[in-house]
A and B are shown apart, each in its own frame.
Chain A
Amino acid sequence: MSRPLSVLIVEDEVLLAVELGFLVREAGCHEVGHALDSASAVELAQTLEPDIALVDVHLADGPTGVAAARQIAEGQGAIVLFMTANVKRLPEDLAGACGVIGKPYSDRAVRRALTYLARCLQDGAAPGPPPPGLALSERFVSRWGVDQLAQAV
């Protein structure tokens, strides 16, 4: 891999964020920052320019994760991955996010998802169907050619 994926963690539960930081490093990625609320999430996304932001729906300032995710996704070119227990509350277009991992997730599922997304970003195409536990949005399914993959199988 050319360079490790830089990751911004947006999560108001500090213990989860710390553990997620370990998983990010174990997946060969690089944690660049951690935001507890939507305002600092958007700000950190602008200043740190991460490759990917892992965003919870419920943040320290309320259920603001969806709006923050949309701003980040439409902004600096970071892709957003939701990590939430609230999968049903997400809008149909996933607010521009590439996908979602439902809580409670397993550490393996997160590592697999990050490794997979790193490949997708590096190659601009998916190496295969998404691993168990990761659901991709329609937009990224077609962006990374996962729909073509499915047809080829």
Chain B
Amino acid sequence: MADSLLAPRAGIDDPFAAAVHATRMSMAIVDAQAPDLPIVFVNDAFLRMTGYRRDEVIGRNCRFLQGPDTDGEVVKMLSRAIRQGEAANLDLLNYRKDGAPFWNALQISPVRDAGGQIVYFIGSQVDVTARKAAEAALEAAAAEQARTAQQALADRTALLHEVDHRVKNNLQLITSLLVLQTRRTQDDATQAALQSMLSRVSAIATVHRRLFQSHDLERFDVATFIRDLMGDVSSGREEVDIHLDLERVDIAAAQAAPLALAVNELVDNAFKHGLAPDRPGRLTIRVRRLNGHYVIEVCDDGPGLPETGEFEPGFGLTITNLLAQQLRATLAFEPGSPGVRAILKLPAHG
């Protein structure tokens, strides 16, 4: 379809010039063939935006709009586009006549004559100061948010360390109190009870030491715990040969203390009933994964189960059964060959 704009209108010689003059978009045209590309035309919107009079801008290069904070790199990009006769699209910090800076979203395009020679560059300018300010505010807000999040993480880590430290110190204090009272106690039964409590607290202490040593605070390595536990037990009973057959098994940290206590009771039980003092014996602990379960076995080579097939339900056995319930585990005592095999079987997760 033919361009219909050239149809005559009353009082208008050149409809393009009239339109460019009237538009609210700031426009300027520079002479591409004259030295230093002087401005040959600006519309009224350009004058409103920059605050200059027409006679102050005609004949000058556009760089008078630049100022101290104009980005030299952006200016270089603009010069390169002009040199290569290409269109360009960039955000440039410019300055009004009164010195006030504004963000200029500048678009320039070359205008060619019939022979393909560039005769003009036409530029349009939009004041995007408000958009730039919004962007900057958004960026600042994001940076602030990141800083706050980082601070919160640092606070949380510091708090965790502090709590960890206090828990460890308190466990140490409880342990020392128990040991001190054990030393003062003459009565054998009381002493045995205190010793049992001490071994339970020590098992929990061993858990806590391990939990915070690992990088993963959510998981607990059962094999390492058992090695630690037996490292402490074995030096008290040199005559017992301890055999560990441990697969690496991780459980949830929340299950660590109950499982540790249960294993501690089973080991204690084996020492009390299966491994008489001053008799060489063998204690075997196995951990393995079997059909979606973790199986922990504590085996001694002692006299075996009582005639009834069950142990007297003492305090240790009572709490082991309760802990097994909590862990949704099953606990069984089977005849070994010789001795007793205690089997704790708990569901594996994941």
Contacts and interface: CB of A to CB of B under 8 A. Distances in A.
Interface residues of A, number: 25
A19 B169 contact: no
Given A13-B173, A19-B176, A85 B168 contact: yes
Interface in B95-144: none
A133 B233 CA distance: 13
**Interface residues of B: mostly helix, strand, loop or mixed?**
helix
B171 A104 contact: yes
B180 A19 contact: yes
A132 B235 CA distance: 10
B321 interface: no
Given A15-B176, A19-B176, A19-B180, A108 B236 contact: yes
Nearest to A17: B176
Contacts of B164: 85
B243 interface: no
Contacts of B267: none
A67 interface: no
B179 interface: yes
Given A22-B183, A85-B165, A106-B202, A15 B173 contact: yes
A103 B169 contact: yes
A16 interface: yes
Nearest to A111: B235
A132 B231 contact: yes
Nearest to A18: B180
Interface bracket on B = 20 to 34
A21 to B, nearest CB: 10
A107 B172 CA distance: 10
Given A15-B177, A133-B231, A105 B172 contact: yes
Interface of B: 161, 164-165, 168-169, 171-173, 175-177, 179-180, 183, 202, 205-206, 208-209, 213, 227-228, 231-232, 235-236
Given A19-B179, A109-B231, 16 more contacts: A15-B176, A16-B172, A19-B176, A20-B176, A58-B165, A85-B172, A103-B169, A104-B169, A104-B175, A106-B175, A106-B205, A107-B179, A109-B232, A131-B231, A132-B232, A133-B231
21 contacts: A13-B169, A13-B172, A15-B176, A16-B173, A18-B180, A19-B176, A85-B164, A85-B165, A85-B169, A86-B165, A87-B213, A102-B213, A103-B171, A104-B171, A105-B172, A106-B202, A106-B205, A106-B232, A109-B231, A131-B235, A132-B227
Interface of A: 13, 15-16, 18-20, 22, 58, 85-89, 102-109, 112, 131-133
